[in-house]
C-alpha cells in the first residue's frame, strides 16, 4: 500500500519511475524465509525477475542462492555476493562462453535441458580440468493453467528433457568423466495460482524419479523451480503471496528420500508486489464512446500487458473524484501499448499521478528504449 507521505514525495520526482517498497520486500522475505527454514528447504532466487542492485542485496542478505538463465546472470549473481555454491543455471541455449563462465565460477548445478548440451558441458569441463555438477531439467508434461507464453512444462514446450530420452541421457552421463549427475529439476511455468498444479507436479516428480531409482541412479537433489503466482487483481489487499499454503501442499505431496535436498527457485513471488510503476497523466482524451487516460509510462517501461496480455491493477493516487472508466494507454506508437480497457479509476486530469501495481517482477528487467525513450529509474521507499 502506497502511503500519503510517499504520494507527496512522488510529486517532486519526474515520471515514469519504478518505486520499490523495501519494507514490503523485507516482509515478504521474512515470511518466505521462515517457511523454507521450517521445512529445511533451499531457495535460489530467480534473478531474471528483477536484478536491481538493492533488491538483489536485500534478497542475498537472507541467505538465498541464485537461479540464473544466462552467463551474465551467473556473473552478476557472483558479483553481487551470492554464494557460487548456491547458484543454479538453467536455459535451453547455453553458449560455450556462458558454460565456461559458469564452470569458472564453480556453480552448484547446471540444469541441463538436452542431451547434446550435456556432451558440450562435459567437453568444456574436461578442457578446463574441472568436473561439472549437473541436474536434468525434466519436462514433466504438466499444464500449469497459466498464460501459454509462461507455460514451460508441457511436452510441446522447448524446455527440459522428456522421459523418453532418459535412457540416452543416462547412457551418455555414464560415459562422461567430467559431469556428475546430482539431481532432477522441474519448473512448469509461472504465475501459477492453482495449488492443484503443484500437487500434480509433486506426483509427477515421484513417478519420474522412480525411473532413476529403478536404474540405481541416486538423485540427491530435487528442484521444484519457481512459479508461485501473486495477486494481480488485489495487490493492496493481498500483498504477500500465499507461501504457507504453497509449502504445505509441497510438504504433503512430495516424497523426499533420506539425504535428499529440496530446492526452489522463486522469482515473481518474492519481488512482484514490491514494485510499482509511478506515472503521470499527460492527457485525458474524450472520444465519442470512451475516455482515454494517456500516461507517460509505456510498454517500453513495463511490457507485460503488451507481451502476454497481463493484468495490472491501476490506481489514481492524487484524485478523490468519483470513479469513472477509462481506456488507460501509454505514449508508445503501438496499439498494444495499452494498460487496460474500461478501467475504473478516480476521475483523472493532466498531472495526476497513477500507480501501476505489481510491477516488481518482469518489469524493469524487461524495459527497453523503443521509440528512443529514456529508461525509467528506480526509487526506493527508504530513500524518499
Ligand atoms: C523464470 C524461472 C523461474 C522463476 O519463475 P517465477 O514464476 O518468477 O517464480 C524459476 N526457474 C526457472 C528455471 C525459470 O526459468
Summarised one tens digit per residue, pLDDT across range 271-324 is: 999 999 999 999 999 988 899 999 999 999 999 999 989 999 999 999 999 999
Residue 261 has pLDDT above 80, yes or no: yes
CATH of the domain at 241: 3.20.20.10
- Cα distances (angstroms) measured from residue 268 to each of 188, 274, 336, 358: 14, 10, 23, 10
121 and 190 housed in the same domain: yes
Number of domains in the chain: 2
Centroid of ligand 1 to alpha carbon of 368 (angstroms): 21
Residue in 269, 259, 257 with CA at minimum distance from that of residue 198: 269
Give the model's pLDDT for residue 287.
87
| Domain boundaries, position 208 | 65-265
In a domain, 284, yes or no: yes
Task: For residues 205 and 294, state if they share a domain.
Answer: no
Residue of 69, 186, 184, 174 whose CA lies nearest to 122: 174
Give, as one character, the DSSP assignment of residue 126: H
In this prediction, residues 175-198 reach a mean pLDDT of: 96
- How far is the C-alpha of 219 from the C-alpha of 130, rounded, in Å? 21
Ligand 1 atom at minimum distance from 361 CA: 8
Spell 298-323 as b/e; 16+ CB within 10 A means b: bbbbbbbbbeeebebbbbbbbbeeee
Which tops the pLDDT comparison, 157 or 249?
249
Residue 227 Cα, ligand 1 centroid: separation in angstroms?
6
Widest CA span of the chain, in angstroms? 71
141 confidence band (pLDDT: 50, 70, 90): confident
pLDDT at 144: 76
Check: CB of residue 66 under 8 Å from CB of residue 57. Answer: no
Please tell me the distance between residue 266's alpha carbon and the centre of ligand 1 in angstroms. Answer: 6
Within the chain, residue ranges assigned H as helices are: 4-10, 22-39, 53-61, 71-79, 96-105, 115-128, 166-175, 195-214, 243-253, 268-271, 304-308
The pTM score is 0.96
Give the integer Cα–Cα distance in Å for 359 and 219: 37
Quote the CA–CA distance of 138 and 122 in Å, as a whole number.
19
| pLDDT higher than 90, residue 147 | no
Ligand 1 binding site (Cβ under 6 Å of any ligand atom):
46, 48-49, 67, 69, 90, 187, 190, 225-227, 265-269, 361
CB 104 within 8 A of CB 127: no
Q: Give the model's pLDDT for residue 275.
A: 98
**pLDDT value at 57 more than 80:** yes
**Confidence tier at 140 by pLDDT (50, 70, 90):** confident
Using pLDDT thresholds of 50, 70 and 90, give the confidence band for residue 152: confident
User: Which pLDDT value is given to residue 191?
Assistant: 96
Using the predicted structure, report yes or no on whether residue 249 has a pLDDT greater than 80. Answer: yes
Give the pLDDT score at 149: 72
Q: C-alpha grid cell for residue 349?
A: 486530469
The pLDDT value recorded for residue 52 is: 98
Mean pLDDT of 316-335: 96
On whether the CB atoms of residues 163 and 204 are closer than 8 A, the answer is no
218 and 73 both lie in a single domain = yes
> Is 39 inside a domain boundary?
no
In a domain, 36, yes or no: no
Question: Within this chain, do residues 80 and 159 fall inside the same structural domain, yes or no?
Answer: yes
Span from the CA of 290 to the centroid of ligand 1 (angstroms): 38
Q: How remote is the CA of residue 75 from the centroid of ligand 1, in Å? A: 18
In testing the pocket of ligand 1, which one of 32, 46, 147, 310 has its CB within 8 Å of the most ligand atoms? 46
Question: What integer pLDDT is reported at residue 209 of this predicted model?
Answer: 96
Amino acid at each position: 500500500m502506497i502511503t500519503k507521505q510517499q504520494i507527496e514525495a512522488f510529486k517532486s520526482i519526474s515520471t515514469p519511475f519504478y518505486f520499490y517498497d523495501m519494507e514490503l520486500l523485507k516482509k515478504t522475505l521474512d515470511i518466505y524465509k521462515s517457511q523454507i527454514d521450517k521445512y529445511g528447504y533451499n531457495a535460489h532466487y530467480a534473478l531474471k525477475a528483477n536484478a536491481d542492485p538493492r533488491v538483489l542485496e536485500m534478497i542475498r542478505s537472507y541467505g538465498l542462492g541464485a537461479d540464473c538463465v544466462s552467463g551474465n546472470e551467473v556473473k552478476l549473481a557472483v558479483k553481487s555476493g551470492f554464494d557460487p555454491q548456491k547458484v543454479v543455471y538453467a536455459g535451453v541455449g547455453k553458449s560455450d562462453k556462458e558454460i565456461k563462465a559458469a564452470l569458472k565460477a564453480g556453480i552448484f548445478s547446471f540444469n541441463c535441458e538436452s542431451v547434446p548440451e550435456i556432451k558440450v558441458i562435459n567437453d568444456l569441463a574436461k578442457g578446463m580440468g574441472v568436473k561439472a555438477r549437473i541436474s536434468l531439467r525434466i519436462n514433466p508434461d504438466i499444464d500449469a493453467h497459466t498464460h501459454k507464453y509462461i507455460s514451460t512444462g508441457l511436452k510441446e514446450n522447448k524446455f527440459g528433457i522428456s522421459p523418453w530420452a532418459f535412457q540416452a541421457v543416462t547412457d551418455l552421463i555414464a560415459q562422461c568423466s567430467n559431469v556428475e549427475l546430482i539431481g532432477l529439476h522441474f519448473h512448469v511455468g509461472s504465475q501459477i495460482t492453482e495449488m492443484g498444479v503443484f500437487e500434480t507436479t509433486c506426483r509427477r516428480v515421484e513417478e519420474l524419479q522412480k525411473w532413476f531409482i529403478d536404474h540405481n541412479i541416486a538423485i540427491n537433489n530435487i528442484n521444484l523451480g519457481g512459479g508461485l503466482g501473486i495477486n494481480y487483481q488485489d495487490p493492496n489487499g493481498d500483498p504477500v503471496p500465499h507461501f504457507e499454503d504453497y509449502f504445505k501442499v509441497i510438504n504433503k505431496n512430495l516424497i523426499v528420500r533420506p539425504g535428499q535436498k529440496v530446492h526452489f527457485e522463486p522469482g515473481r513471488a518474492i519481488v512482484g508486489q514490491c514494485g510499482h510503476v509511478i506515472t503521470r497523466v499527460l492527457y485525458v482524451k474524450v472520444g465519442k464512446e470512451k475516455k482515454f487516460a494517456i500516461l507517460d509510462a509505456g510498454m517500453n517501461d513495463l511490457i507485460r500487458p503488451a507481451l502476454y496480455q497481463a493484468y495490472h491493477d491501476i490506481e489514481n493516487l492524487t484524485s478523490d473524484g468519483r470513479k469513472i472508466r477509462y481506456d488507460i494507454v501509454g505514449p508508445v506508437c503501438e496499439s498494444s501499448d495499452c494498460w487496460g480497457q474500461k478501467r475504473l479509476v478516480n476521475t483523472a486530469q493532466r498531472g495526476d499521478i497513477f500507480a501501476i501495481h505489481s510491477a516488481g517482477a518482469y518489469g524493469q528487467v524487461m524495459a527497453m528504449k523503443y521509440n528512443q525513450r529514456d529508461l525509467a529509474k528506480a526509487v526506493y521507499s527508504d530513500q524518499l
